[in-house]
Structures are given as structure tokens and as C-alpha cells.
A and B are shown apart, each in its own frame.
Chain A
Amino acid sequence: MNTIAAMGKIIRDTLYEPVFKRAWPIWIGVLAFAVTNILMASFARGLGVFPQMSMWGASILNGIGIDVDAPFKPYQVTPVHLDVHSMINFGILLGVLGAALIAREFKLRTDNWRGYVQGFLGGVLMGWGTVLTPPCNVGGFGTAVMALSLSGFLMAVGMIPGAYIGAKLLQWQSTRAIGMIDFKDDPDRIGDRKLKPSRRPFLGLFVFLLIFVAVIVYSVYDMSNFAVLLLFGVVFGIIFQRSRLCFAAGFRDIFAARDTKLLRWILVAEMVGMIGFSILKFNGYLDSNHFVFPTGINSIAGGFIFGIGMVIAGGCGSGILWRSAEGYVRHWFAVIGGMLAAGSWVLLYGAKVGEGWLYGDPVFLPDVYGWPGALVLGFGILIAFYIILVLVEVKKKNA
């Protein structure tokens, strides 16, 4: 019995506590994100979540009798359980739900109608930003920069002022809400503040059991690529939930709070990812066009709209998805808004993403500057951006 108790203690102290109870340091989160993204790209594709959600939106519109094509060409309207790309999103949802339950961080977080409207509108702005840029923050900036697509750098140019505007709105709302308090409420309204034992961690283990069953089912039906992408999604979900890696927060707080630590770590992840994606593309393991998107004013304008939307909704494309699984009801509205706005794009614009007057041509940097030139340029921009961020922070300390 003593041996079992001692083993339990070791598992609790060295596995449960650091992995599932304490938040991961952000540098572990971003490096795990970069490495997992490289691994998933070498298996099938890089990470992006919004094109799938756009397809879901188009499916819903078709379901209520509005005939519309999904906006992204490679993502045709398909039943979700037979769509390989959607597996990543389901994996993220399940991974986050399981990890949040085990960590006792899941809670159904309701809001009032104003919060839901704001979430929905943020989702709509992100939906339109996604089809314009394209696609979302993690895909259009995070993975596109790793993949040496010029569009990724331009999206950031638009996203910085967009996120700043969103942050100013949130700061105004914060000041207004605190302006209303008077410390005269009844202390009984606060309720009990003693942590009680909970069975939720076991529910979390049950979620991981369900994931395991789904993986087995897809494998039995000879759809192992579905099973693998589901598992990659689960890994991304655990990384997002435990390290609280939030691309929206990275851009939001540069000027609004002059806090650049998160974005600086994201830039380090971009550099690691750029090395990995370059190796895969240089050797031909990955198509050179992979995650290279239409580039032009559309990238900057899309980034700007997306930037406002992600901040007022409370997360970027992957952010609203994974926080939905943590129990944030506002983010459910954001996901619905984003799906419907992006899903109705073909109806509004008359053509698919990348077609027509609105979009520039894709620019893959090595096609223009050769591999050495593209890598010098890619790393140069990231390093210059990093130095500017350090400067922003120094200015705050001197202010």
C-alpha cells in the first residue's frame, strides 16, 4: 500500500501538478505550438481553424434553405464527421474540455445580452476579416509567416491598429463598470469561498476516453488520417488551455497595455516554425504553396477588421473556439457570428476567397528572393519587430 501511495505522490507531483494543474510558462506553450505545427504540417497540413468554421457556416445556411458555396475552395460543404479538416477543430474542442475539467478550470461562464451581442459582432468582424485576409490570426499570421507567405506579415500590419481599437473599447468598458461600484452590496452575495472536492477531473478523463474511442472508430473505418488530425487537434487544445496561449492577447496589449512579452514569445515561435516549414518546403515534403495566401491591400484590411473583432469577441479564431470548450457562453456567440459571416461570403461578394478584384496574388517569398534572400528577409522582419517591441516596453518603463 505504501508503494502505491508513494507512486501516486510521484505521479501527482511530477505529472498532474506541472502538466494539468499549474499554468505552463508561456515559452513552453509557444515552443510546443511551433513544434506541433511543424509536425502536423509534415503529416498533412499547418494549423488554421476558420476555413473549416466558414464551411460549417455555409452548411448551416444551406440547411435553412439559403443556397451558398463555402468561401474557401479546398473546404467544400461536407458533413462535418467526414471532413478531415474539421477533425482539427473537434480535437481542439475536446482537448480543451478534457484539460480544463482535469485542471478544475471549466465553468459555464454566462454573460448578459450585451456581452453576447458583443461576442456575436466580434465574431462577424472576424468572419469577414478571415475571408478578406485570408484566413484567421493563427492561420493567416501564425502559420503563414512560418510558411514564408508575404500575406502573413501584412496581416500583422493591419491587426496591430485593429487590436488597439478593440482594446481601447474594452478599457473604456472596464473603467465604466468599476465607476458604478460603491462597496455597499451585501457581503452574502459573494457566497462561499472555500474550495470543495470535485468529481470534474474524472469527467475530464472520460473526455479523453471518448477521444480514444473516436480515434479507434476512424482507424477501423480506414480513415486513420482523420484519427491523426483529431489527435493533433487534441494536442493543440491541451497546449492552448494549459499555457493560455492567446494570439489575440499578444496583439491587443502591445500599445494598449505596453505589455509585449506574449507577442515576443510568439515571434520566437514563428522563427522556430519558419525553420521547420522551410526544411519541409525546401525538400519538397510540403507543397511550396501550402499556407501561401492572396497578398495585397486585402491582407492589411482583413487583418485590421479581424483585429478589432478578435479583441471585442475575446479571442482570435482558435481563441473563440477553444474558450467555447472552457465554458464561455460569449464565445459560443462569437463562433456562431464568425461561422455565419464567413459562410455567407460567396453570397455577399459573388466569388470565392482569392478570386476577383478584391484579392492580390499569393506571394511565396522564396519565389521572389530565392531561399537565402527569403530567409534573411523573414528572420530580419521578425527580429526587427522583436526589437521594436522591446523598445515599446522600455518606453513604458521610462514613462
Chain B
Amino acid sequence: MHKPVSCKLEDGSYCIDLRGWMCPYPKYMLDPIFDKLPKGGGKVTLLVDCPSASTDVPDVARKKGYTVKDVSQVNDGEWQVIIEY
């Protein structure tokens, strides 16, 4: 339960590393994340390492009306979810 690493990848593109946060934390974090992201729109890459998060994070984001651009495995037991906001 460490502080998630968060960074700016380029203008309008951000990344939050939620690896180490088991389910359902990533899903519960979506609302606070969208509140926290710099205003003006862009895309956010979320890194998760809980298998369920690779399906429920995109599902919840879609239900909230965001567009999920990509869900792909990046390592053993690790996925990235790219969401436009």
C-alpha cells in the first residue's frame, strides 16, 4: 500500500503505476484519479498487476463514459490500460 508512482509521459499523457495494489483498489481508484488528472483532457495509462483489474478497470471506465484505447499485457502478471478522458 505504497504511494503510487505517477508521472507525465508527454503533453496530455499521464501514467499512474498501480502495480502492487490488489483488486479492487484499482477499480475503486478510478473516480479519485479522474478528479485528480490535470484538466483539459488527454489520456492516462494505468499499470495494474491484478488479473481482475485488466477486465474490471476498463469495464468501470467505459460505464463512466470514458473511451478505453488499449488493454494489453506488458509483463508476467502486469497489464496497461490506456483511457482517454
Contact = CB atoms under 8 A, between A and B. Distances in A.
Pairing of A with B? yes
Interface of A: 23, 100, 103-107, 109-112, 114-115, 118, 167, 170-171, 173-175, 177-187, 189-190, 192-196, 198, 200, 244, 246, 249, 252-253, 257, 314, 323, 326-328, 330
A279 B35 CA distance: 53
Interface residues of B, number: 42
A164 to B, nearest CB: 13
Contacts of A257: 24, 27-28
A357 B75 CA distance: 53
A114 B1 contact: yes
A248 to B, nearest CB: 9
Given A252-B24, A314-B23, A111 B1 contact: yes
Contact of A200 (B8, B23, B76): B76
A178 B4 contact: yes
B78 interface: yes
Contacts, number: 126
B20 A109 contact: yes
Contacts of A190: 5, 7, 15, 17, 47
Interface of B: 1-9, 14-17, 20-25, 27-29, 31-33, 36, 38, 47, 49-52, 54-55, 72-78, 80
A178 B32 contact: yes
Question: A100, A171, A177, A180: which has the most chain B beta carbons within 10 Å?
Answer: A177
Contacts of B2: 112
B7 A249 contact: no
Contacts of A192: 74
B76 A246 contact: no
